[in-house]
Amino acid sequence: MALWTRWLITLGAMLLASILAGLLWNWLFNADIPSYVSGLVGGAAAVPVWEMLRRIGGTPTP
């Protein structure tokens, strides 16, 4: 799998996780989510997605 494809899928997963976290936070607390929490959720979602794509893509690790 090409690097740009993995990057695009990972970016989409980050955005989706951040949006879902924001909706859940708004539903629970009736307030906007702090940006650092949204970034933390997106970053935490990116790591396992990137690793999964690396494993199924068959590219060797340096």
pLDDT profile of the chain (62 residues), mean per 10: 90 95 95 92 94 81 59
3-state class of 61 per DSSP?
A: coil
Q: Reduced to 3 DSSP states, what percent helix, strand and coil does the chain have, rounded to the nearest 5? A: 80, 0, 20
Helices 3-29 and 35-57, packing angle to 10 deg: 140
Q: Tell me the whole-structure pTM to 2 decimals.
A: 0.82
Sign of the Cα torsion 43, 45, 50, 5 reads negative
Asked if residue 22 belongs to a domain, the reply is yes
Range of the domain at 17: 3-56
Asked if residue 10 belongs to a domain, the reply is yes
Q: What is the number of domains present in the chain?
A: 1
Asked if residue 38 belongs to a domain, the reply is yes
Asked if residue 14 belongs to a domain, the reply is yes
